């Protein structure tokens, strides 16, 4: 449900009202009780994309991809190989020695 801005032309009282789009427009001011209330036309919510453009930051540049590819082998050097916990069969078809 949208929020509507109202202002009274008689007393100058301005407020926001959260109401359904199908509700009727309010005409009576809650402060002075005169029928001089009018609903203002708002600009609504807006999306602002800051910076030089969102499309430029959504996709990786070629220089970033090259640097990431060069960095990839360096990052795997410090990792230890995964140990086999015995739950999977060996790839060469040999049986385990737990018989």
Question: What local confidence, expressed as pLDDT, does residue 33 receive?
Answer: 94
Q: In what order do the strands lie in the sheet with 14-18?
A: 14-18, 3-8, 37-40
Question: What local confidence, expressed as pLDDT, does residue 29 receive?
Answer: 95
pTM given for the model: 0.43
| Distances in whole angstroms, Cα of residue 1 to Cα of each of 18, 43, 75, 78 | 7, 15, 51, 55
pLDDT mean for each 10 residues of the chain (99 residues): 89 92 92 94 68 61 80 60 58 55
Q: Domain segments of the chain: what residues? A: 3-40
Question: What local confidence, expressed as pLDDT, does residue 32 receive?
Answer: 95
Token pair for residue 57? 């930051």
Question: What local confidence, expressed as pLDDT, does residue 37 receive?
Answer: 95
52 φ, ψ (degrees, to nearest 5) = -80, -10
């Amino acid at each position: 449900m949208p929020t509507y801005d109202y202002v009274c032309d008689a007393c100058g009282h301005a407020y926001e009202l959260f109401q359904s789009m199908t509700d009727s427009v309010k005409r009576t001011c809650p402060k002075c009780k005169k029928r001089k209330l009018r609903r203002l036309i708002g600009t609504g919510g807006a999306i602002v994309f800051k910076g030089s453009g969102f499309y430029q930051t959504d996709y990786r540049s070629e220089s970033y991809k090259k640097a990431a590819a060069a960095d990839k082998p360096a990052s795997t050097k410090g990792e230890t190989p995964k140990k086999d916990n015995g739950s999977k069969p060996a790839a060469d078809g040999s049986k385990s020695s737990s018989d």
